[in-house]
Amino acid sequence: MSGEAAGPTVRRLADWSAADLTELADEYGTPLYVTDLDRVRENARRLLDAFPDAAVSYAVKAHTGRAVLATVRDAGLGAECASAGEVVRAIDAGYDAVQYTAVNPPAEDLDIVLDRWRSGVDLTVVAGARDTIDRLRDRGFDGRLALRVNPGVGAGHHEKVTTGGHAKFGVPYDRAPELLAGARADFDVVGIHAHAGSGISGDDLAAHRELVARMGDLAREVGDLEFVDVGGGFGVPYREDEPPLDLDAVADATREALGDVDAQLAVEPGRYLVADAGVLLTRVNTVKPVDGGDTDGTVPVVAGVDAGMTTLLRPAMYDAYHAIRNLTDERPERPVTVAGPVCETSDLFCERRPMPTPRRGDLLAIGNAGAYGYEMASTYNSRPRPAEVVCEASPTPRGAGGERRSPGNRTRSGNGGIDAVRLARERETLAHVTDLEVDR
């Protein structure tokens, strides 16, 4: 991909073609996730350009769809996995080398991952506890091992994703040299790892610098390492007026803070690759006024939609902001609360946000839904999970796991440059939700 245009530094919801999205919703139904693989490629190119001398891996947990994994793999990024399931999905998408960051791993996870290692997968295990190292040793693992360190520094968009300073993650910084020394006799110790949190922005660079500087100090103290992994968490602008992350500035700050080390810098972004590559489409099914109205005389309304917190959890879990656009008609604005069908007060996508007055049947698009959207979807309230389509302007042949053989394949010439669309995940039905139940 060297030399290709990396696209704009941010893709806003307004940049998506309303005509294309409407056609997709009409054909595949709603709720519907739409993922643009070309945008994933552009974001990958931008990361590789900003970190040309680093090992860049994709944090798979942001979006584990096989089409996305194959696209990221073809772009030249590695795979960083947080669970056995993610390891298996990365391998199924064509990866023959993966990094498994084992956070308090259940026994079954360790067994599954080590089975893949024994079958020939090039595996690096990142252990975050002495106990995990012991369990790996007991299972006969003597391969590539890295140590996750808790540097005591955290950053991120919400306290629930600020991992760097929480005791759950990694071994205490001052105990790392002893653990690394003890592990060298039984493992191929290749690196150290830390992660500050998720959604790092320019405001968080001080904490990011401190984390990286501490990791650089540790690398110089322990020596003989292949890499120093400082995680990812690079933020994206969710609000319409929020500036994009200056990735080159982050890269420069990272290299400067790390200093001179005899090891390769490694980063593992997830959200940055896929967030603005995805939108969620949902239809309005209920419109009702709010009693009392606002002080200026405008009557707010609640727009009930067919997506909810089971479809996109981030607003309910993190109070996350997502841009919302009415794709149907331009009408006078009024305060609109967009609410889902789940029986929870937190099942809201926004409250009293100015937008065109909704009507039943309107199609809404929710932006930046590509990261932790489908991944966090659930069947709470016995609601089946949505379908997902992937699209691209200039399809190219894919390797393992990326073949376009779905019955939903089609090509078209859309106003937004989408030429090829395929169904990536079928819509669940109620039968799928109850498939695993056992009659007694």
**Domains, in order of start, for the chain:** 96-270 (3.20.20.10), 276-370+373-434 (2.40.37.10)
Helix (H) or strand (E) holding 212: helix 205-222
Say what percent of the chain tops pLDDT 70. Answer: 87
For the residues 364-389, what does the mean pLDDT come to? 97
Residue 408 confidence (pLDDT): 45
How far apart, in Å, do the first and last CA atoms of the chain sit? 56
Residue 265 has pLDDT above 80, yes or no: yes
Residue 407 confidence (pLDDT): 34
Residue 2 has pLDDT above 70, yes or no: no
Residue 230 has pLDDT above 70, yes or no: yes
pLDDT tens for 88-127 read: 999 999 999 999 998 899 999 999 999 999 999 999 999 9
Residue 396 has pLDDT above 90, yes or no: no
For the residues 297-309, what does the mean pLDDT come to? 91
**Cβ contact 247:201 at 8 Å:** no
343 is catalytic: yes
**Cβ contact 324:366 at 8 Å:** yes
Residue 129 has pLDDT above 80, yes or no: yes
Residue 416 has pLDDT above 70, yes or no: no
Confidence of residue 208 (pLDDT cuts 50, 70, 90): confident
Longest dimension (CA), the chain: 74
Chain-wide mean pLDDT for the chain?
89
Confidence of residue 294 (pLDDT cuts 50, 70, 90): low
Q: Which sign does the torsion angle of CA 415, 34, 388, 310 carry? A: negative
Sequential DSSP letters for 33-97:
EEEEHHHHHHHHHHHHHHSTTSEEEEEGGG---HHHHHHHHHHT-EEEESSHHHHHHHHHTT-SE
Count of Cβ atoms closer than 10 Å to residue 436 Cβ: 6
pLDDT tens for 14-64 read: 999 999 999 999 999 999 999 999 999 999 999 999 999 999 999 999 999
Look at residues 91, 263, 238 and name the one whose alpha carbon lies nearest to residue 158.
Answer: 238
Residue 304 confidence (pLDDT): 98
pLDDT tens for 150-181 read: 988 754 443 433 444 567 889 999 999 999 99
Catalytic residue among 81, 343, 350, 391: 343
Residue 414 confidence (pLDDT): 40
CA gap 153, 160 in Å, rounded? 14
Which comes out higher in pLDDT, residue 330 or 11?
11
Say what percent of the chain tops pLDDT 90. Answer: 79
Residue 297 confidence (pLDDT): 61
For the residues 358-368, what does the mean pLDDT come to? 97
pTM comes to: 0.90
For the residues 69-95, what does the mean pLDDT come to? 98
